[in-house]
Amino acid sequence: MRLDKWLATLGKGSRSEVRQMIRDGQAAVNGQTVRDPAADCDPERDTLSLRGTAEDGRIMRHVMMHKPAGVLTAARDNRQMTVMDLLPAEYRSMGCMPVGRLDKDTTGILVFTCDGELSHRLLSPARHVEKRYRALASGVMDETDTALFSRGIDLGDFTALPARLEILRTDAESGTTLAEVTVTEGKFHQVKRMFAAAGHEVRMLHRCSFGPLELDPALPEGEWRELTDGELKALRQAACMEDRTEKA
Ligand code: URA
């Protein structure tokens, strides 16, 4: 990758701004000042510093966010806050995007990546990546519901694949059920629609896990962190992607 493209992708300025920075001698690669904007660099291997300060030059970022309620899963919105507003601006310029979506009122784990292929594979219906949700639903659910979920539910426009429903607690007084459901698809409003088809309204929905990743209990709502190497490896395995870093 050209040095000017590398810096622009990292959000260090526009192409013309970073070219000027490079010509001014502000950029060093592997400790050597480089004044040629077209200089060939390897963001995975080369070290980068700007004005003498070491920079994190990785252009692939992979993030876990604890999505709060009230925030849209969208790249941008003119009126409402989106999950992208919770990440630093440079993550957007690096092309870091949410993998799938959660409804505005849903909380829990949301994964972001700059790796389009990884994202595509994780979302592919053929991959059957498991997602586990905790739901507070109206009504007292029982084994009839568990059986219904396990058979797959006809939702009119499609039949949801069999899902695992575990009833954690029922409360006859308030007429509610706390349950966990594990699905392998990600269709629009799928979990809420499955509960509705069984005659229960979802009042609160929280995603606890996405594929092999559990929401970090130390991550407060609205906060995010980069995936650990182990988490990324597990995610890539779930996507059946060979580990390029290991092979290199
Ligand atoms: N299913 C839903 O109904 N909503 C979500 O946010 C995620 C899954």
Domains in the chain, start-ordered, CATH in brackets?
3-55 (3.10.290.10), 62-125+212-247 (3.30.70.580), 130-210 (3.30.70.1560)
β-pair partners for 54: 49
Q: What pLDDT sits at residue 243?
A: 54
* Catalytic site residue from 42, 56, 85, 103: 103
Kindly provide the b/e burial profile for residues 177-205, where b requires at least 16 CB atoms within 10 angstroms of the residue's own CB: bbbbbebebbeeebbbbbbbebebebeeb
The whole-angstrom separation of Cα 195 and Cα 200 is 5
Pocket, ligand 1, Cβ cutoff 6 A: 102-103, 106, 189-192, 205
Q: How far apart are CA 46 and CA 35, in angstroms?
A: 16
* pLDDT tens digits for range 194-220: 999 999 999 999 999 999 999 999 999
Distance CA 224, CA 66 (A): 6
Probe residue for ligand 1, chosen from 190, 202, 215 as the CB with the greatest number of ligand atoms within 8 Å: 190
**Residue type for position 119:** S
The confidence score (pLDDT) of residue 247 equals 39
pLDDT of residue 245: 46
Mark 119-149 as b/e (b = at least 16 C-beta within 10 Å). Answer: bebbeeeeeebebbbbbbbbeebeeebbebb
> Ligand 1 centroid to 228 CA: how many Å?
26
Look at residue 178 and tell me whether its pLDDT is greater than 50. Answer: yes
Q: Which residues contact 235 (CB under 8 A, 6 or more apart)?
A: 62, 111, 118, 122, 211, 212, 213, 227
Q: What is the pLDDT of residues 129-177, one digit of tens each?
A: 999 999 999 999 999 999 999 999 999 999 999 999 999 999 999 999 9
pLDDT tens-digit map of 78-107? 999 999 999 998 898 888 999 999 999 999
Please confirm, yes or no, whether 103 is among the known catalytic residues. Answer: yes
The share of the chain scoring above pLDDT 90, in percent, equals: 85
